[in-house]
Amino acid sequence: MSEPSTLDYKGKTYNVIHHYYLCELTNEQFTTTELDEQNLLELNKQVKLDFLDQLEQVIEQRKTAAPESSYVAALFAKGMNKIAQKVGEEAVELVIEAKDQNDELFLEESADLFFHYLMLLQAKGFKLADVVKILEKRHKP
């Protein structure tokens, strides 16, 4: 058996084994006929969701660290009120940027709000998946 070749696509590496592509991240397999642009787009979406899971794990790990060791730990050490206040501040900053024409700053503030929202969720004992479940229940196809 020869060594598998690889396919790099949008930051992910797939191993080609017996005419199958095997995603190193998800272990999903696709034949060369199945691995079309749509499947790659779906995999790319999954990788982005996996990143959000990783980000939640980082927050989980850092929130109990020494406050001087990370921003997350320092904010958690200040308590729920400070975390909630920070979410409010970031929300106001996002609204201000939404009214301006600088898309880059708008997206930066969006990321700041989202990150602090993830911290608030964890401070309350929840994960993003809990919110997704509610959104899914509300969705009317």
Tokens of 1: 């058996």
Whether residue 127 has pLDDT greater than 90: yes
Cα 113 → chain centroid: 13
Helix (H) or strand (E) holding 15, with range, is strand 12-17
Tokens of 86: 């920070």
Question: pLDDT by residue (tens digit) across 76-87?
Answer: 999 999 999 999
**Contact predicate 123/83, CB 8 Å:** yes
Cα 97 → chain centroid: 22
Distance CA 10, CA 3 (A): 23
Domains of the chain, each with CATH number or no CATH: 1-35 (no CATH), 51-138 (1.10.287.1080)
Question: pLDDT by residue (tens digit) across 77-125?
Answer: 999 999 999 999 999 999 999 999 999 999 999 999 999 999 999 999 9
